[in-house]
Every structure is written in structure tokens, then in C-alpha cells.
Amino acid sequence: MAEKDNAEKKNGETGPEASEKDNALVLKPVSPVQRKRLQKCFEHGSMLSAKGEFDYADQMFRQCVGGDPGNLIYTQNLLTNLKKKYNNNKKGGKLSGIRGAKAKAGIKKAQRKKDWAGVIKSGLEYLHHNPWDSSTLTDMAKACSELEIADCQIEYLKMAIEGNPKDMALNRVAADGFANIAQFDEALSCLERILAQNPNDQDLAREINQLTVNKTIHKGGYEQAESSLDVSVEKQAKNKLTGGAMELTEEQRLRREIRRHPEEVTNYINLSNYFFKLEDFEAAEQVMGDGVDASGAIRATEELEDIQLYRTRLEILRAKKRAVSTKRAEDIDLYKRMKDELNKRELAVYAARSDRYPSNTKIKFDLGIRLKRAGNYEQAIKEFQQARNDVDRAASASLETGECFQQIKQYRLAMTAYEESIKKCTASDGEVKKLALYRAGWLSEKLQEYLNAEKYFSQLAGIDFGFRDVAEMLNQVSKKTARDESSGE
């Protein structure tokens, strides 16, 4: 009966409480149901952080880290968001000690009970007020060490050092932590900061020399069996034979995390990105396909779509080069068909994302581009008009709106959009401004508004006299303006 009770507790959805296993405290696995909930919180937090709503984002990220404290991506995003919240001022908010007093008490209470997950939860509450508080971060790092979640331990130690780089006691703790998990460069940096304040400490100098030797031995790449990949890195670091820990390759580390947390989509994304950087796109797509099957998460689906679209674009580039090289009709037709098929695929992808994220103006803009390519100008206009609310895309979206209006012969509306684009152009919108001036001048000339055409072409010529046929167009409208003036019109 006792064994059954223990099994039921193990399979529960109560979160990351520590349980006894081989006399070592480890985190209880997060259930698929809870992981899905945490992933939704993470996605919402990421969106809020991108919009500058750092307090609300922190609430989401705290739920994520509190629910899965061993998740490196959750931890990194929480700390990055807090840096943004405080403009990376390295000191947090005012009166943080007073406002975080309850959280500090919670840390101490959890430490007495050896509730390491509780230490992290209370620590997160304090970091909301000051994410660089060294004592809180050190306590959280120690809790991570007890729970054998080394990656997150590193993040808390790095954050503590950022805020207090000259604190000798902190550097000592951090050096030991880094060394135990084979992060030798970080450990050496900590010891060297201590040595700078105690240049005559011979024991410390010898320790630095020994750590440097351990680093060299470690980089020798001692081979170990596959089964050892999941052995605690901290325990390996204490191996007397090697003097250091085995450092997993990036691929091995990420595959290990996938084995440990098969429902965690971020692990698949990281491994896929690893292959993507190596330009092994087939492997990247395969990993994300596995991620979709294992998690069913929207993020995984979108990552897979992006990889597939990227691979298709590469194939189209090759088809274009072949068509240009051979000039054969069949190669040219194939290139055109592939472009059309890609646009249809992109149109479906961005339409789904636009429905999923109705306030994302970048997606609105991307969808508008695909609708325009497909000749659906009226629907494209609607998307571009929404995208104009994005300051970074206001000028481009207005230009695209004008081109669509021109296609459906709404010339006055097109002119208004071009003029709006010109006004909204910033210093970084140089090419957009030139094209908007050209479009406005060209359309004015067709509408026989030669003074306006001359004005726009003159502005463009002043910026780039070699742009398209602006010199010729300016010459033509100048003659027509002079003719109208001489005839008294």
C-alpha cells in the first residue's frame, strides 16, 4: 500500500517538489498537462516582454520557472526580461530590501526544510524587486546544485556576478560552482578577480594554476560510454583520474535534455537551431518534426513551417540560377511554378498566424505581401493598413498600400498612401522613401498633375539622381510644366 501511495504521488501534477531518489534530492518530472500549461504561459510572457510589458511578463515567467525550475529557456527569459525591466541598472528597484522582505523570509524557511524548489520560488519573488541581489541568487544557485540542475545554476551565478563583480565572497562561491560543472573559463575569471584584490595570495595563485591544468586535461576529450551522458556533471568533475568533468558536445547535451523532457518543445527548437547553423537543414527539419509529434505545441509547428519554407526558398534560388543559366523554357516554367507554389504555402502559413496572433503587425505585413503577390489587392490593403500601426513598418506598409490601390485603379487613394509613406519615412527607410517618391511622381504625371510630379521627382533626384529613370522623368515633366505655364494653364 505504501508503494502504491508513493507511485500515486510520483504521477501527480503537484509541480516541482523534490522527492527522494537514491538518497539525492531531484525534481519530480513535469506532467504533460502541466507542461502544456507552462508553455502557454511562456509564449504569453514572451509576447508581453516584446511589447515592453515587463511586469506582466515577469508574472508569466515566474509561473514557468516555478513550475519547471530546471528549464534553462524559462530561466534565461525570466532574467533577460528583468534586465529590460530595470534597464540593466544592476541595482533593481527602490526599497527592494523592504518590498522583498517577505520573499527573503520564504527563502530562509525553505532552506531550513531543505525545500530547494521552494527556495527557487521564493527567490523569484525577490528577484522581481532586484534581479541582481547576490545573496538571493547565490541561495537559488545552491538550490539548483542540490536539485542537480546545473544549467540554471550557471545562469543565477552569472547574474549575481554581473551585479557584484568585485564581491570576493560571491566570486569564491561562483568559482566553486563553475568548477564543479566544468565551466573552467568562468571559474578562472572569478578567481582572477579575487587575485586582483589579493595579489600576494600564493594559495590562490596555485589554485588558478591547478584549475588551468584541469581545463587543459578536460579539453583533451576523454571518451566515456554513452550511458555516462546522464551522470551528474558535478560528480564527474570530482573524478580524481581526469581532474575534470566530461564536457558534452552541444548535440549530446540537447539530445540528453530531449530524453529527459520529451514534451519540452524548447529542447527540440534548440537542437534544430544547432543543425540549422550547421546548414544541415534536413536534420533540423527532422528534429522539429519529432518535436511536433511529441509536444503538439504551436511553437513547434511554427518552427517546422519556417524550416520547410526556408528549404523551399533555397530550392527556388537554385531553380532560378538554372533558369538564368540555361534559358530553357522548361527551366523557366519550373522556376515560375515553384515561386507560385511557395507563395500559396506562405499565404496559408501567414493567414493562420494572423488569426492566431491578431495584434502582431509584422505578421499582418508579411501576410499582406503574400496577398499582393497573389493578386488579392483588396485583402492585402486591409492587412497593410493594420500594419501601418507598427512604427517600424509604417512607411513600408503605406507604400505597399498605395501600390495595391493603384492596381485596383483607386488613384487618389494610392496618392494619399504614397504621400503618407513619404512623411513616415525615417533615416533607416532610405530605399522606401526613394520608391515612394518615384511612385508619387509617376502617378502624378499620369494624372497630368505635372507640378506635383516635378516636385516629387526633384526630391528624388536630390537624394539619388541615378535612381531608375528619374532623370528622364524629371526632364519630361519639367518640359510639360513649362509648356503649361507658357500656355497660361
Same domain, 22 and 157: yes
150 and 276 in a single domain? The answer is: no
Examine the domain organization and report whether 256 and 140 are in the same domain: no
pLDDT mean by block of 10 residues, the chain; 489 residues: 40 42 53 84 89 90 91 90 90 86 92 92 93 92 86 87 85 82 80 84 82 68 38 41 54 86 86 89 90 85 90 91 92 91 90 88 93 93 92 92 95 95 90 94 92 92 90 88 69
In a domain, 11, yes or no: no
Cα dihedral sign for 383, 389, 392, 397?
A: positive
Render the burial of 349-385: b for 16+ CB within 10 Å, e for the rest. Answer: bbbbbbeeeeebbebbbbbbbbbbbeebbeebbbbbb
Query: Which residues, in sequence order, are bridge partners of residue 25?
Result: 20
Let me know if residue 223 belongs to a domain: no
Cβ(122)–Cβ(115) below 8 Å: no
DSSP 279-330: T-HHHHHHHHHHHHHHH--HHHHHHHHHHHHHHHHHHHHHHHHHHHHH--HH
pLDDT at position 405 is 96
Which residue, 164, 195, 228, sits at the end of a domain? 164
Q: Answer for the pair 458, 433: CB distance below 8 angstroms, yes or no.
A: no
Phi, psi dihedrals of residue 24, rounded to the nearest 5°: -120, 135
Residues 267 and 153 in one domain: no
Instruction: Please indicate, yes or no, whether residues 28 and 160 belong to a single structural domain of this protein.
Output: yes
pLDDT of residue 358: 87
**Residue range of the domain that includes 126:** 16-164
Q: CB 227: neighbour CB atoms within 10 A?
A: 7
Residue 328 falls within a domain, yes or no? yes
Domain presence at residue 406: no
**Which DSSP string corresponds to 123-146?**
HHHHHTT-TT-HHHHHHHHHHHHH
Whether residue 48 is contained in a domain is answered as yes
Cell 498566424, residue located:
353
359-363 CB contacts, 8 Å cutoff, 24+ apart: 361/386, 361/387, 361/389, 361/390, 361/393, 362/387, 362/390, 362/393
In this predicted structure, what is the pLDDT of residue 193? 85
The number of folded domains in the chain is: 2
Residue 5 lies in a domain: no
144 in a structural domain: yes
Hey, what's the cell of 321? 540560377
Q: How far apart are CA 454 and CA 254, in angstroms?
A: 61
Q: Is residue 487 situated within a structural domain?
A: no
- Which of 226, 210, 90 minimizes the C-alpha distance to 160? 90
Three cell numbers written together for 287:
528534429
Contacts by 398-401 with C-beta closer than 8 Å and gap 24+?
Answer: 398/424, 398/436, 399/432, 399/435, 399/436, 399/439, 400/365, 400/368, 400/369, 400/372
Full-model pTM = 0.50
Final residue belonging to a domain, choices 164, 179, 209:
164
Give the phi and the psi of residue 426 in degrees, each rounded to 5.
-105, -175
Q: In whole angstroms, give the CA distance from residue 286 to residue 328.
A: 34
d(CA 402, CA 409): 10
pLDDT attached to residue 188: 85
Q: Is the dihedral of CA 455, 458, 464, 466 positive or negative?
A: positive
Taking the CA atoms of the chain, what radius of gyration do you get in angstroms? Answer: 30
119, 148, 164: which is the final residue of a domain?
164
**Based on the domain organization, do 41 and 142 belong to the same domain?**
yes
Q: For the domain that residue 303 is a member of, what is the CATH number?
A: 1.25.40
The closest alpha carbon to 448, from 423, 415, 421, belongs to 415
